[in-house]
Amino acid sequence: MDPRPNPRYPARVATLHAFANPTRFLKLARPLTPALFWSGVALALFGAWAGLTLTPPDDLQKETVRILYIHVPAAYLGMAGWGGLAVASLSYLIWRHPLANLAAVAMAPVGAVFAALCLITGSIWGRPAWGTWWEWDGRLTSMLLLFFVYIAYIALARADSDRGGDGRVPALFGVAGSVLLPIIHYSVIWWNTLHQGESLIRGKIDPSMVWPLFFTLGGFTLFFAGVVLMRMRAALASQKVEARMKRMAAQ
């Protein structure tokens, strides 16, 4: 099934649309899923091992600093997950391609898990470092809000599809929720917060300590992509099953 060249579309748009074709998507996603998943697991495991054994402890925090190799990638993916969800939602609203909606729905629980992991590891670190499990400061509160917004999106998307909705309402919610991303990122700059400022982007982590972080960052990202592809394939497969059941029932 080859899409005929359409003179009204520029070539760039035509290739983008070709990837949005479920058959082509599946052809690409089938080998990509295990490759992304397992390379992600390998990189993350190596980064975590290196962060536990090969790097020096921090001068002030001592060994507790090592939680950063999990906390930072979890925080980044909690936010990047919503970024991806918002972009997919926006393109679903504009181009109405079902695959974009499928991608947004597939990303939500994965991003929520990473946001939760970020909150949990941060809390565990906060007890020895700050002297508290939790404080209502700008960074902590906005990240907790993002976690709740993920939960709300998952509930909304499920309710919408249960009632036979076309996914436009959850997609709007997905776009609107992205307002939290700059708030989380700039919270430590705009307000006095207990949470420290940017370390990684401003290069404030000593090179001898920072390098395993790049392995866990890369590994978590590949793992995220692999799990999202897996969920999208599962959703497409269950759609196919439902369609076939309907056809069989009609016969």
Partner 1 sequence: MMVKPKHQRLALALAALAAILGAGGLALSALKDQAAFFYAPGDVAGKPLPLGKNVRLGGMVEKGSLTHEADGVSIRFTVTDGKAKVPVAFRGVTPDLFREGSGVVAEGQFQADGSFAADNLLAKHDERYMPPQIAGKMHKTETLEK
Binding site for partner 1 (CB under 8 A): 55-61, 65, 68, 90, 93-96, 128-132, 135-138, 172, 175-176, 178-179, 182-183, 190-194, 196-199, 202, 204-206, 208-210
Least distance (Å) from partner 1 to the CB of residue 195?
9
Task: Output the six-digit token pair for 197.
Answer: 């400022």
State the nearest-atom distance from the C-beta of 41 to partner 1, in Å: 26
Phi/psi-derived region of residue 187, left when phi > 0, alpha when psi is between -120 and 50, beta in every other case: alpha
Q: How far is the CB of 225 from partner 1 (least distance, A)?
A: 25
DSSP helix/strand/coil, 57? coil
CA 225 to the chain's CA centroid:
8
Whether 203 contacts 213, CB under 8 Å? no
Report the residue number, 44 or 184, with the smaller CB distance to partner 1: 184
User: Measured from the CB atom, is 155 or 176 closer to partner 1?
Assistant: 176
CB of 69 vs partner 1, minimal distance in Å: 11
3-state secondary structure of 204: coil
Q: Which is nearer to partner 1, 176 or 245 (CB)?
A: 176
Q: Which is nearer to partner 1, 40 or 170 (CB)?
A: 170
Q: How far apart are CA 65 and CA 11, in angstroms?
A: 50
Tokens of 7: 């003179």
Give the number of C-alpha atoms closer than 13 A to the C-alpha of residue 221, restricted to the C-beta side.
12
How far apart are CB 197 and partner 1 at their closest, in Å?
Answer: 4
Given the complex with partner 1, which of 202 and 247 has the nearer CB atom? 202
Tokens of 2: 């080859």
